[in-house]
Amino acid sequence: MSDTIIEVKNLTFQYEEDQTSPTLDQVTFHVKHGEWLSIIGHNGSGKSTTVRLIDGLLEAQSGQIVIDGQELTEANVWELRSKIGMVFQNPDNQFVGATVEDDVAFGLENQGIPLEEMQSRVQQALELVKMSAFKDREPARLSGGQKQRVAIAGAVAMRPAIIILDEATSMLDPEGRLELIQTIKDIRQRYGMTVISITHDLEEVALSDRVLVMKNGQVESDTSPQALFSRGEELLNLGLDRPFTSVLIQTLKEKGFAIDESYLTEKDLEEKLWASISKR
Amino acid sequence: MNNLILGRYIPGDSLLHRLDPRSKLLAMFIYIIIIFWANNLATNLLMTVFTLSLVFLSGIKITHFLKGLRPMVVLILFTTLFQVFFTQGGQVLFQFWIIKITSLGLSQAALIFMRFVLIIVFSTLLTLTTTPLSLADAVESLLRPLSRFKVPVHEIGLMLSLSLRFVPTLMDDTTRIMNAQRARGVDFGEGNLMQKVKSIIPILIPLFASSFKRADALATAMEARGYQGGDGRSKYRLLSWKFLDSLALLSLLFLGGLLLLFKN
């Protein structure tokens, strides 16, 4: 068995027939088993469309998607979809159940899983996202971050091989965002899931194994977070902020301090600064 | 919007809270039918004692029931006064110009008044002790036999529970849109009728637009979570009909029997 879980080949898609340029144009990439892939890019670069095509929510004009060795077709879309858990952007619009518990159970109900198994899985998923104490709450009484954690619990309860986060942290405050990223990290460690995350958030990108940059419906590049962060000013054009350390390094360079690298983690930069000070 | 008593649920652990929502819903129907059999002092007394003892059993403060009655006060008084002035018959008690108050008018008015109050108290009892969700479950479950006649029972149940879940969300939306429009100078509730109606448009259109957007996102999320309709689904929430539920319905039927016995 190959180590590739998702293979996307020459995917082309457009929403309306008279569009001047296609939303996706010959997109090709792959995702490895257990990998954390970030997809970044400007609004309208086709990130969300790509993951919706992978989940079979949209149908491509041409191209091929292979998930876990099977090509995605109309016949097996439900089967393949059950291998993928999706978490969307707006926590309010994806909350189906009347309470936290009911929402987590919704996906399990759809698969016709027996009651006892459902109860244990719901319990487990809620513990994982630390929402057990809230299981009787209605969505109106939860914060955005809590709702998003419930959405993740709902996806995790289905035990998917792949979890896709479609800008899942974009509507949260910094605290909620950090908590959510930590939760995803834990889940990934525990179940060895493959994570695909569409994001504009630096922390999320920094945690991922690989970054796919999309631009105008095409894959612009496919790099490691470190290589991406060293692109400096360019990052702003890709819909990302610049990491704090890059800005600091550049400021130091302008002030005449010699630092060769254009990107370091905070820890590495700290070491470097200590080293250079103690040399004097 | 906080005065809305509709669908308001007060958590508790009384006998009534623990009843199956189906039995409570059925009880509501039976109650509404038998209350029309109460047409004299004895039967009304019977109904009042029964209803008040249920209120006591629920362990919910009387003030909540008064809140439920408050929006209906005008309607109740209006109907009652109508009965007093326009029902003619029996002894004439008071006469002035064209106004004539008769004994039959007074007793009819009292009857109507009691019916209103009791029905409202009983229905408030139902909503205060039952979560909206379990009421939706109960409706779905009670409609189940109709699926033989091609009534889409699962879809009705799903729509009902989704609507209930989105009520607070849409309320929030409405408040937000109203405040946003106020900030841009729209006056709500000012001017004549035409102006008032016109000022609703800047709330209504964004609200509809955002509802469409929400519905679309929700449908996508449901599909992504494997929702393929009612077939082959299991249920997380099971309703269980217990001995207590049968007992509750039997006691109501017994009450109905007593009413038939004592009514005029």
Average pLDDT over every residue of A146-153: 92
- Quick check: B15 pLDDT over 80? no
- Per the structure, the count of domains in chain B is 1
**A92·B162 Cβ contact <8 A:** no
For chain B, the first-to-last Cα distance in angstroms comes to 44
pLDDT at position B1 is: 40
- Joined together, the tokens standing for residue B39 give 């047409």
Q: How far out from the chain centre does Cα B60 lie?
A: 17
A191 touching B, CB under 8 A? Answer: no
- pLDDT per position as a tens digit, B96-148: 776 777 778 888 888 889 888 899 888 888 888 887 778 888 888 888 889 88
On the CB side of B252, CA atoms within 13 Å amount to 22
Chain A's closest residue to B11, CA to CA, is: A136
Please give the DSSP secondary-structure letter assigned to residue A230: T
Q: Which of B134, B175, B225 to mutate: most A Cβ within 10 Å?
A: B225
B187 in A contact zone (CB under 8 Å): no
Stronger pLDDT, B30 or B99, i.e. the higher one: B30
Mean pLDDT of A158-170: 90
- Do residues B84 and B101 touch, judged by C-beta distance below 8 A? yes
pLDDT above 70 covers what percent of chain B? 93
Q: What is the dihedral of CA A43, A46, A49, A53, to 10 degrees?
A: -160
CA torsion B211-B215-B217-B222 (nearest 10°) is: 150
Domain spans, chain A: 4-233, 243-279
CA distance B157 to B201: 31
Average pLDDT, chain A: 87
Please tell me the predicted confidence (pLDDT) of residue A254: 87
**Phi and psi torsions of A192, nearest 5°:** 60, 35
**Which residue type occupies A84?**
I
CA–CA separation, B220 vs A279, rounded Å? 59
In this prediction, residue B90 has a pLDDT band, given cuts at 50, 70 and 90, of low
pLDDT of residue A118: 92
B70 occurs within a structural domain: yes
> Does residue B94 fall inside a structural domain?
yes
- Please count the other Cβ atoms lying within 10 Å of the Cβ belonging to residue B96: 7
Would you state the pLDDT for residue A212? 92
In this complex, which of A95, A98, A113 lies closest to B133 when CB atoms are compared?
A98
In this predicted model, what pLDDT tens digit does every residue of A86-143 receive, in sequence order? Answer: 999 998 899 988 889 999 999 999 988 999 999 999 999 999 888 999 988 888 888 8
Residues in chain A within 8 Å Cβ distance of B226: 78, 81-82, 107, 110-111, 158
Asked whether the beta carbons of residue A86 and residue B225 sit closer than 8 angstroms, the reply is yes
Q: Any idea which of A63-67, A237-241, B88-92, B237-241 has the lowest mean pLDDT? A: B88-92
Element (H, E) at A139: none
Give the span between the Cα atoms of B203 and B206, in whole angstroms.
6
In angstroms, the separation between the Cα of residue B99 and the nearest Cα of chain A is 54
B95 strand-pairing partners: B100
Most confidently predicted of B101-110, B167-176, B181-190: B167-176
C-beta atoms of B226 and A90 within 8 A: no
Q: Per the structure block, which two tokens stand in for B260?
A: 């038939």
CB contact under 8 A, B234 and A107: no
Inter-chain contacts counted by CB atoms under 8 A, chains A and B: 94
Residue B158 per-residue DSSP state: H
Task: Look at B131 and A98 and tell me if their CB atoms are within 8 Å.
Answer: yes
Query: Rounded to an integer, what distance in angstroms lies between the CA atom of residue B85 and that of residue B101?
Result: 6
Instruction: Indicate the pLDDT class of residue A2, thresholds 50, 70 and 90.
Output: low
Find the radius of gyration of the CA atoms of chain A.
Answer: 21
If you average pLDDT over every residue of chain B, what do you get?
Answer: 84
Of the pLDDT bands very low, low, confident and very high (cuts 50, 70, 90), residue A280 is low
pLDDT at B91 over 80: no
Interface confidence, given as ipTM, is 0.85
Q: What is the pLDDT of residue A175?
A: 85
User: Tell me: the pLDDT tens digits for A180-214?
Assistant: 888 888 888 888 899 999 988 888 888 899 999 99
Range of the domain at B84: 21-131+240-262
Across the interface, of B172, B224, B235, the residue whose CB is closest to A109 is: B235
Burial class (CB in 10 A: 0-12, 13-18, 19+), B227: middle
Which tens digit of pLDDT belongs to each residue from A224-271?
888 888 887 788 888 788 888 888 888 888 888 877 777 778 888 888
How big is chain B, counted in residues?
Answer: 264
CATH 3.40.50.300 describes domain A4-233 = yes
User: Given pLDDT bands bounded at 50, 70 and 90, which one contains residue B8?
Assistant: low
Residue B119 domain-assigned (yes or no):
yes
Q: Is the pLDDT of residue B3 over 80?
A: no
Can you give the pLDDT at residue B5? 47
Which pLDDT value is given to residue B58? 82
Query: What is the value of pTM for the model shown?
Result: 0.80
Q: A94, A118 in Cβ contact below 8 A?
A: no
pLDDT at B216: 93
In degrees, rounded to 5, the angle at the alpha carbon of residue A242 between the alpha carbons of residues A238 and A246 is 135
DSSP state of A241: P
B212 at interface of A, judged by CB pairs closer than 8 A: no
Most confident of A153-162, B13-22, B59-68: A153-162
**Residue A234, both tokens:** 């360019």
